[in-house]
Chain A
Amino acid sequence: MHQNASLCRTNKHMRKDYKKLFTYLDSPEPSSGLFDRIIFAIKQEQEKRQTRKIAYGFLALLVTSLSTAPLSWSFFSKQITESGILQFLSLAVRDFSTFTTIWPDSIMAIVESLPITGIIILVLNLILVVFTLRLFLFKKRVLLKYFTQNMAFHM
């Protein structure tokens, strides 16, 4: 017990001794501009991260909208031919007077034959294409800069 206490005292003394010694060491100071440089570098990194997010988002949207466009179009056109709406429409054009006399029934028949699922899918796809195009137009400079920089880096 007594030995432990004395060891502890020696340790404390030793630590004080070396701490004092290290106070003689001149602590180097960074230049005054370093703080601003760090904040600026972090901001740049933040922007880079933001641009990366936009670029990946744009690519994902582009791939999705382009790859689903033919599928949704073929689904839509298949539904159109199968629904018989084209027949209803051609009949309405060929015999317009009958169409107008029984117009509520004629319109109801056309509406009922509408391929709703196909239309919804196609419209969603078109919205996606328009949104992708809009994103590209709004962020054109940022995206082009990011892609050209990355291409140059990989080449």
Chain B
Amino acid sequence: MQELSDSEIIADYLNGNKESLNILVGRYINLIYSFTYRYVGNEEEAEDITQDVFVKAWNNIKKFDQEKSFKTWIFSIAKNTALDWLKKKKAIPFSNFENEEGENTLAETLADPASLPPELFEKAEIEKELNSALEKLPPKHRMVLFLRYNNDFNFREISESLGEPLDTIKSQHRRALIKLKKFLTEK
């Protein structure tokens, strides 16, 4: 059962095997939790959002197109739920989630997001520094990097999960790397 693909598990669940739901929840609980945690930065809220995500996914499971990826589908639900949560809380200015106009794209094109200085990896407090650098990034940039490097998503999957065009994701990724590198090396 554990080796079945997501689509097979969903089909199994829709055919009446209630156990399949547990497997699906178990498979994604940690990923969704850490994803929402990155959005809200609070354990309790991340748990509540994670619960909401799975309830919403269950509510719409019959509408889910099994030809598509369940992973990107549930991540898009997670993203929307986390954003709704934040909107309700009004904790962050929502200009952060709008387009990134006004940024110096020329400077970004000239900058090099590539390799990181090797001495960076020798720092003892790298986790703390990385966390604080990620905190400084706009939420969208943070999520793109997080999905790409922590959850191993490809650009297409990130684009489907966050509901943004592929080119936008690629450019956000590039900008995010430049900023991250800047924040990490400027200390």
Q: Which residues of A contact B (CB under 8 A)?
A: 10, 13-15, 17-22, 24-31, 34-35, 37-39, 41-42, 45-46
Are the C-beta atoms of B55 and A42 separated by less than 8 Å?
Answer: yes
Are the C-beta atoms of A30 and B29 separated by less than 8 Å?
Answer: yes
Are the C-beta atoms of A38 and B54 separated by less than 8 Å?
Answer: yes
The listed residue (B50, B51, B116) touching A21 by CB distance below 8 A is B116
A13 to chain B, nearest CB (A): 6
Residues of B within 8 A of A39 (CB): 21-22, 25
| B39-54 CB contacts (< 8 Å) to partner A | 43, 46-47, 50-51, 54
Pick the most buried of B21, B51, B127: most chain A CB atoms within 10 A of its CB. B51
B78 to chain A, nearest CB (A): 13
Pick the most buried of A15, A24, A35, A45: most chain B CB atoms within 10 A of its CB. A24
Interface flag for B30 (CB, 8 Å) = yes
Residues of B within 8 A of A21 (CB): 116, 120-121, 126, 130, 149
The listed residue (B29, B46, B149) touching A22 by CB distance below 8 A is B149
The listed residue (B29, B54, B115, B150) touching A27 by CB distance below 8 A is B150
Residues of A within 8 A of B158 (CB): none
Majority secondary structure, A binding face: helix
Residues of A within 8 A of B110 (CB): none
13 A-B residue pairs with Cβ-Cβ distance under 8 Å, sorted by A, are A13-B115, A14-B113, A21-B130, A22-B146, A22-B150, A26-B127, A27-B30, A29-B30, A30-B29, A38-B29, A39-B25, A41-B51, A42-B58
Are the C-beta atoms of A25 and B115 separated by less than 8 Å?
Answer: no
Cα–Cα, bound, A20→B114 (Å): 14
The listed residue (B37, B47, B115) touching A14 by CB distance below 8 A is B115
Residues of B within 8 A of A14 (CB): 113-115, 177
Are the C-beta atoms of B149 and A34 separated by less than 8 Å?
Answer: no
Are the C-beta atoms of A42 and B21 separated by less than 8 Å?
Answer: yes
Supposing A24-B126, A42-B58, A45-B55 touch, asked if A34 and B29 sit within 8 A by C-beta, the answer is yes
Are the C-beta atoms of A25 and B47 separated by less than 8 Å?
Answer: no
B73 to chain A, nearest CB (A): 17
Supposing A13-B115, A14-B115, A42-B58 touch, asked if A34 and B150 sit within 8 A by C-beta, the answer is no
Residues of A within 8 A of B7 (CB): none
Interface flag for B33 (CB, 8 Å) = yes
Residues of A within 8 A of B148 (CB): 18
Are the C-beta atoms of B150 and A41 separated by less than 8 Å?
Answer: no
Are the C-beta atoms of B115 and A24 separated by less than 8 Å?
Answer: no
Interface flag for B93 (CB, 8 Å) = no
Cα–Cα, bound, A46→B55 (Å): 10
Are the C-beta atoms of A35 and B25 separated by less than 8 Å?
Answer: yes
Residues of A within 8 A of B152 (CB): 19
Interface flag for B131 (CB, 8 Å) = yes
The listed residue (B26, B55, B58, B127) touching A35 by CB distance below 8 A is B26
Are the C-beta atoms of B130 and A18 separated by less than 8 Å?
Answer: no
Cα–Cα, bound, A15→B26 (Å): 28
Closest chain A residue, CB of each to CB of B123: A24
Cβ proximity bits B54-66 to A, threshold 8 Å, 1 near / 0 not: 1100110000000
